[in-house]
Amino acid sequence: MKTLAEIFEHTLEDMYYAENAISKALPKVAKAATDAKLQKAAEDHLTETKDQIRKLELVFKSIGKKASGEKCDAIEGLIKETDGLIEETSGTALNAGLLAACQAVEHYEISRYGSLREWAKDLGHKDAHKLLSEILDQEKATNNKLTNLAVMSINKPGSTAKAA
């Protein structure tokens, strides 16, 4: 890659792959969580992720490209780490670990969508800029919800897992 347009398109493909992989991983997170609020957060994020995939397809269309994904090693690693938590952790540690894993994914997405949004602006892709701004705002809001869930219940000393 030598141009801003090339890195933009590559990263867009990376995020399309990532969002599709996340949509497959979130049901496992919801099922593994023993805290009802964390389960709901994962389920809500799945709905949001499906909407983001649709928006990414519109971004591709707005720049005259067919939506396609390029394997995202970063998201694969984060999902693998989450799978390990599900297998090796239990009790309140499981919920705290799952929440932290979800936030790691959010932080990755926020960094990528922030770059994509600015690159779209620099490249004059107004529709893409608008859609990527919407996705970035959703990712930030989800991260804030997860932070509040961690602070208000999941990470509280003595907190117990509340069955759904």
Q: List pLDDT tens digits, range 28-46.
A: 999 999 999 999 999 999 9
Count of C-beta atoms within a 10 Å radius of residue 150: 18
* Residues recorded for the chain: 164
Q: List pLDDT tens digits, range 68-126.
A: 999 999 999 999 999 999 999 998 899 999 999 999 999 999 999 999 999 999 999 99
Q: What is the token pair recorded at 49?
A: 């992720």
Domain segments of the chain: what residues?
Answer: 4-154
Phi-psi map region of 72: left, alpha, beta (phi>0 left; psi -120 to 50 alpha): beta
> How is domain 4-154 classified at the CATH fold level?
Ferritin (1.20.1260)
How would residue 24 be classed by pLDDT, with cut points 50, 70 and 90? very high
How would residue 161 be classed by pLDDT, with cut points 50, 70 and 90? very low
**Residue 164, pLDDT above cutoff 60:** no
- pLDDT: which is higher, 162 or 69: 69
Distance spanning both ends of the chain, measured CA to CA:
48
The angle, 0 to 180 degrees and rounded to 10, between the axes of the packed helices 91-122 and 4-32 is 160
Q: Are 142 and 45 in contact (CB under 8 A)?
A: yes
Q: What is the token pair recorded at 136?
A: 């970035």
Rounded distance between C-alpha atoms, residue 143 and residue 157, angstroms: 21
Q: Name residues whose C-beta falls within 8 Å of residue 113's C-beta, 6 or more positions apart in sequence.
A: 15, 132, 135, 136, 139
- What is the chain's mean pLDDT, rounded? 94
Q: List pLDDT tens digits, range 135-155.
A: 999 999 999 999 999 999 998
Cα angle: 18, vertex 21, 24; to 5 degrees = 150
